[in-house]
Amino acid sequence: MLPVGNPAIGDDFIDREKEIDQIISALEKDSVLLIAPRRFGKTSIMRRLEKELSSQDGLCVFIEVED
């Protein structure tokens, strides 16, 4: 069972490397919009991307919006 709650970080972030690689590859060509149902893991993916891109001297801006 996977924990549900706050965004996953560190060792709790699992099984999303494929998505991270796909997004990084897509970002090399264009902008990316990440859309998914509530509690799908969008924030966790974005936080991991922020960490990955920052370590590569990339600029990452994270804007969280809610209804």
- Is 70 exceeded by the pLDDT of residue 1? no
As to burial, measured by CB atoms within 10 angstroms (0-12 exposed, 13-18 middle, 19+ buried), residue 20 is: middle
**pLDDT-above-90 percentage for the chain:** 6
Q: How far apart are CA 59 and CA 38, in angstroms?
A: 26
Q: Which residues contact 20 (CB under 8 A, 6 or more apart)?
A: 45, 48, 49, 52
* Residue 26 reports pLDDT greater than 90: yes
The band of 3, judged by pLDDT with boundaries at 50, 70 and 90, is: low
Q: Does the pLDDT at position 15 exceed 90? A: no
Which of 33 and 62 is assigned the larger pLDDT?
Answer: 33
